[in-house]
Amino acid sequence: MADSAVSQAYRSVPRPRRIPVIPIVELALLLILSVLPLILEDYLTIFVTRVLILALLALSFDLVWGYAGILSFGQALFFGSAGYSTALLARDLGITSIFIVLPASLVIGLFVSLALGGFLLLGRHPPTTIFVALGTLTGSYAADRLARGWYYLGGQNGIPAIPAMTAGSYAVVEGPVFYYLAFATLVLVYLLCRFLVRSQFGLALAGMREQKARIAFFGYRVQQLKAMVFSLAGAIAGLAGGLYAFHEGFVGPNMPGVVFSTQIVLYALFGGVGTLIGAVIGVIAVEIVSFWLADNYQQVWPIILGLLLLLIILFRPTGLIGLVVSERERVGTFGRPPRTLPRIAQEGGEEDQHAAP
Amino acid sequence: MPLLEAHGIKKSFARLTALNGVDLTVAENEFHGLIGPNGSGKSTLMKCVAGAEIPTEGTIRFAGRDITAVPPAERARAGLSLKFQITSVLPALTVYDNMLLALQAQNPLSNLIFSRTRGPLHERVLHTLDQFRLADRAGDPAAEISHGQQQWLEIAMALAPEPRLLLLDEPTAGMSLQERRLTGELLIPFKRRCSLVIVEHDLDFIRDICDVLTVLDQGNVLESGTVAHVQNSHKVQEVYLTRV
């Protein structure tokens, strides 16, 4: 379609420029994380690898809560289900190929979340936030109990000594190689999520988050949108679970449980939901602070950490990222860059004479 | 065949009967006004037609299809569009994005995921905003425009998907006289493209733009017919003289 006079006038107006903070934070973090194994000792590289895997999990929570408005306390359920499944593949069938176990963990996360999401979100009536929160929490709790009580899954002891993941004849063991695997996975998943939340689909999610009841009257099938995001986030959590199982060489009943689910919620809230990068920063910040506190205040560090989390969530509900990112940037824009332009001339070049309401 | 046929609509909330067997028929390209004292059931009837409420009894047919229990999203996809009584634009989104949100609603998911219609819809977004005198505020968050502009934005959003039937619940509430007049002018051109059911307290406004009026009182239809017929009705005059 040829550009109209309206469109041309819209483009020709000088527009105020704001410096976006989120891309700067993303780029800085990307640069820092890409060189870390070169400067860190091996035990710290292993620690940061674990943080990156947990960041994937926090990202999955940010998608469901920060973008789709689904309060899920069940992300660890998908994480743990995939972790246990891949551990069983390795233990019982000897399958450790990266090309099988990682796609398998993703598919398991997807199917478990599809099943739970279908049950919780696709009922006859739209569910309330608290119903979904309790439903996912119950799922997580049930998985924890199942893992503890089922001998085949190792009961309380979990599944130890999982063989290393392999790529052909090469063993992907913890250290710089596993770090870069986790890092590459995080970057890819992050880019995928970023693409999605800034797309027109992301606009629909933003609408759903703000006015769920309203946008159904435009024709959006809100529950289907929610189920889609829930399943995608489940797949991401599953992928994180597969990585975690092989990185740690162990899976235990805590992995799909309530404590872990809640921990991820707190990580994401600490960093700030609804920006993606906030969730990643939340995990990095909490893990580093915990690491440092545990080293220096061996008795009281959980109390200090708890207070810190409480203070941020109470006084800075937008999380750490909210300290540098405005609400306007967080919400962002979805169409062509929106700018302020003077009232467009009416036909015949006449300026609008109507007072603004 | 009428575009909308609501027959014997009853709606109760606990002990309160909001609608007590209301009939409403709207023809193609008809502008139909719903008037009545506060609490007469106008907004409840609109909600039943749009799908925000399910009638306790009665049937609603739209374009020949029974939509009585169809969810709002499916009604919207069939060509029904609603502007709520309470302004419900999305305040954190820009005016432009509010309009894009309404325009893209019925696109397939794959188009939304790959943003295939972002470019093609750009001209329509700007054109619609310009029609409603909002193009100069395209980049501002909807929360920052005035109440009257928010009302216009909502009407524009409701009209954006080119519905067959537009339901407007008090579109001029809170507007000045000049803004109300302008709203009427903005709506008139759509008479060729869709039907309209409008709830409004401003009788001058409704008389100027509507072909047919239905008067509700205490959940019942008091009178229905052309504007002249309703204006001359003794029953209507009595209700308006004694209770409004």
Residue A148 CB partners (closer than 8 Å, separation 6+)? A155, A156, A253
State yes or no: pLDDT of B153 exceeds 90: yes
Domain ranges within chain A, ordered by starting residue: 40-256
Q: Cα–Cα distances in Å, from A3 out to A6, A348, B119, B124, B139?
A: 8, 18, 11, 11, 19
Q: What is the 3-state secondary structure (H, E, C) of chain A?
A: CCCCHHHHHHHHCCCCCCCCCHHHHHHHHHHHHHHHHHHCCHHHHHHHHHHHHHHHHHHHHHHHHHHCCCCCCCHHHHHHHHHHHHHHHHHHHCCCEHHHHHHHHHHHHHHHHHHHHHHHHCCCCCCCHHHHHHHHHHHHHHHHHHHHHCHHHCHHHCECCCCCEEECCEEECCCHHHHHHHHHHHHHHHHHHHHHHCCHHHHHHHHHHHCHHHHHHHCCCHHHHHHHHHHHHHHHHHHHHHHHHHHHCCECCCCCCHHHHHHHHHHHHHHCCCCCHHHHHHHHHHHHHHHHHHHHCCCCHHHHHHHHHHHHHHHCCCCHHHHCCCHHHHHCCCCCCCCCCCCCCCHHHCCCCCCCC
Sites in chain A below the pLDDT cut of 50: 1-2, 12-14, 337-357
What mean pLDDT comes out for the span B140-165? Answer: 92
Q: Quick one: pLDDT at residue B57?
A: 94
Q: How far is B190 from chain A (nearest CA, A)?
A: 18
Using a CB-CB cut-off of 8 Å, the residues of chain A touching B148 are 356-357
Q: Are the beta carbons of A8 and A345 closer than 8 angstroms?
A: no
Phi/psi for A320 (5° steps) reads -60, -40
**Of A73, A75, A81, A72, which Cα lies nearest the Cα of A104?**
A81
Q: What is the signed CA dihedral for A41, A42, A47, A48, rounded to 10 degrees?
A: 70
The gap from C-alpha A327 to its chain's centroid, in whole angstroms, comes to: 19
Using a CB-CB cut-off of 8 Å, the residues of chain A touching B143 are none
Contact at CB, B146 and A356, closer than 8 angstroms: yes
Return the percentage of chain B with pLDDT > 70, whole number.
98
* ipTM of the modeled complex: 0.90
- A207: nearest CA partner in chain B: B90
Average pLDDT score over chain B = 90
Round to whole Å and give the CA distance between B59 and A136: 38
**Of A355, A211, A216, which Cα lies nearest the Cα of B87?**
A211
Q: How far is B204 from chain A (nearest CA, A)?
A: 20
Name the residue type at position A111: F
Q: Quick one: pLDDT at residue A125?
A: 81
Q: Are the beta carbons of B46 and B34 closer than 8 angstroms?
A: yes
**C-alpha gyration radius of chain B:** 18
Q: B244 falls in which pLDDT band (50, 70, 90)? A: very low
Contact at CB, A217 and B125, closer than 8 angstroms: no
Round to whole Å and give the CA distance between B52 and A310: 39
Round to whole Å and give the CA distance between A76 and A157: 18
Cβ within 8 Å of A, B 183-222: none
Q: Quick one: pLDDT at residue A12?
A: 46
Round to whole Å and give the CA distance between A253 and A146: 8
Using a CB-CB cut-off of 8 Å, the residues of chain B touching A18 are none
Residue B170 DSSP code: S
Q: Quick one: pLDDT at residue A315?
A: 84
Two tokens, residue A129: 């936030």
pTM of the model: 0.88
**C-alpha gyration radius of chain A:** 23
Identify the residue whose tokens are 């803004």. Answer: B179
Q: How far is B96 from chain A (nearest CA, A)?
A: 7
Q: Cα–Cα distances in Å, from A323 out to A197, A278, A318, A331?
A: 21, 11, 8, 15
Q: Quick one: pLDDT at residue B174?
A: 83
**Of A344, A349, A332, which Cα lies nearest the Cα of B127?**
A344
Q: Which of B73, B90, B115 lies at the smallest CB-CB distance from A207?
A: B90
Through-space distance between the first and last CA atoms of chain A, rounded to whole angstroms? 32
